[in-house]
């Protein structure tokens, strides 16, 4: 498919409780590269491989969670079509702030873009994911968010879970590309809650290496290493020092928009292995531990 309109996740900004502790964590454990700080005290990061100036931003605040998520649109003309101005920021029906942008400073990466080698020692610093991949958000009105994201912004629904004893969609996986998802939601009474930010790993071996690194640095792990039935991605869920969950994610389905969504019911999410193929339980933390 041609990527037009909204093309991909671009960045996410999280709140952390202690800035320097978090900079140390995201630099040395995750292996992200710090690319700048601004006058508001925010710290910007990219993965080693990413080209844009930043994909991950943190700021210090009394409570952890997500400030906003940004998606890249193809070009300025797309922004004009969708709204107006250089950046479009709006609140989703779930209470989350989303912004669209067309351009960002490009730093490139140390592998270069001419006859690049596949390897550089920088790739081995910490977990060192390939890129910021997706996020899972919790809030009310996920079906209104679904309508907005599909009807206006061109996302397609790849998988969903129906709430117990109903046909009502209570969890959604949405893509603006042919990834298993670029953004996901779970219905929740409190608006604007954050479940996790996911970083793409190059391989299952790199996910297992991430588990070794988590053990080395005493990172608290939530689930995994295992595979999600939903998306089929290999995964670990773990927490940063502020309690924000992050995921090291790999592989998974690459659905075309014409496939139509895969349907799961509530037992499929739990005993059916939707969340955890190996254990086949609905881990309590999945529904209750949020920032």
Which secondary structure element, helix H or strand E, spans residue 21, and what is its range?
helix 19-24
Site string for ligand M3P, 223-262 (x = CB under 6 A): -----x-xx-x-------------x-x-------------
63 flagged as catalytic: no
Closest approach, Cβ 16 to ligand M3P, in A, equals: 21
269 DSSP 8-state letter: H
CB of 268 to ligand M3P, least distance (A): 9
Residues 190-209 that bind ligand M3P (CB under 6 A): 198
195 carries an active-site annotation:
no
Name the strand (E) or helix (H) holding 144: helix 142-147
Give dist(CA 170, CA 162) in Å, integer.
5
Residue 133 contacts Fe ion per CB under 5 A: no
Number of Cβ within a 10 Å radius of residue 87: 12
Three-state secondary structure call for residue 285: helix
How many whole angstroms from its chain centre is CA 272? 23
Which of Fe ion, ligand M3P, none has residue 269 at its interface (CB below 5 to 8 Å by kind)? ligand M3P
Q: Are 85 and 79 in contact (CB under 8 A)?
A: yes
Rounded to an integer, what distance in angstroms lies between the CA atom of residue 9 and that of residue 12? 8
- Shortest gap between Cβ of 77 and ligand M3P (angstroms)? 31
Nearer to ligand M3P, 231 or 244 (CB): 231
Q: Which x/- pattern over 211-250 shows residues binding Fe ion (rule: CB under 5 A)?
A: ------------------------------------x---
| Phi (first) and psi of residue 146, to 5 degrees | -60, -45
Residue 80 carries which DSSP code?
H
Q: Which CB atom, from 105 or from 220, has the smaller least distance to ligand M3P?
A: 220
Q: Answer yes or no: 190 catalytic.
A: no
Q: Which is nearer to ligand M3P, 123 or 275 (CB)?
A: 275
Residue 274 interface partner, choices ligand M3P, Fe ion, none, CB cut-off 5-8 Å depending on type: ligand M3P
Please give the Cα distance from 214 to 37 (Å, whole number): 26
**CB distance 126 to 30 below 8 Å:** yes
**How many other C-beta atoms are found inside a 10 Å radius of the C-beta of residue 167?**
8
Tell me the closest approach of the beta carbon of residue 234 to ligand M3P, in angstroms: 9
**Catalytic annotation present for 53:** no
Catalytic entry in 54, 156, 181, 188: 181
Name which position in 71, 187, 274, 291 contacts ligand M3P (CB under 6 A).
274
Spatial neighbors of 282 by CB under 8 A, at least 6 apart, are: 266, 269, 270, 271, 275
Work out which of 32, 33, 198, 223 binds Fe ion, going by CB under 5 A.
Answer: 198
User: Radius of gyration of the chain from Cα atoms?
Assistant: 18
Residues that bind ligand M3P (CB under 6 A): 136, 184, 198, 228, 230-231, 233, 247, 249, 269, 274-275
Q: Which residues are catalytic?
A: 134, 181, 196, 228, 237, 247
């Amino acid at each position: 498919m041609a990527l037009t309109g909204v093309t991909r996740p671009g960045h996410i900004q999280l709140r952390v409780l202690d800035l320097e502790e978090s900079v140390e964590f995201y630099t040395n454990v995750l292996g992200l590269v710090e690319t700048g700080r601004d006058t508001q005290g925010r710290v910007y990061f990219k993965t080693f491989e990413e080209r844009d100036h930043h994909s991950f931003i943190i700021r210090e605040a009394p409570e952890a969670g997500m400030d906003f998520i940004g998606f890249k649109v193809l070009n300025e003309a797309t922004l004009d079509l969708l709204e107006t101005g250089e950046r479009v920021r709006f609140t989703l029906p779930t209470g989350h702030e989303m912004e669209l942008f067309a351009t960002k400073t490009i730093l490139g990466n140390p592998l270069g873009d001419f006859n690049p080698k596949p390897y550089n020692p920088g790739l081995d610093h910490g977990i060192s994911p390939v890129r910021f991949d997706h996020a899972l958000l919790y809030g009310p009105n996920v079906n209104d968010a679904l309508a907005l994201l599909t009807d206006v912004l061109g996302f397609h629904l790849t998988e969903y879970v129906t709430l117990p004893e109903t046909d009502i969609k209570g969890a959604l996986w949405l893509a603006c590309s042919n990834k298993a998802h670029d953004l996901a939601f779970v219905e929740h009474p409190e608006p604007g809650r954050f479940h996790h930010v996911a970083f793409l790993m190059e391989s299952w071996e790199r996910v297992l290496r991430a588990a070794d690194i988590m053990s080395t640095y005493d990172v608290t792990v939530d689930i995994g290493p295992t595979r999600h039935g939903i998306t089929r991605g290999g995964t670990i869920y773990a927490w940063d020092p502020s309690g924000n969950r992050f995921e090291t994610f790999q592989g998974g389905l690459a659905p075309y928009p014409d496939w139509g969504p895969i349907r799961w019911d509530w037992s499929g999410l739990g005993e059916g292995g939707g969340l955890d193929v190996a254990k086949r339980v609905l881990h309590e933390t999945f529904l209750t531990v949020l920032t």
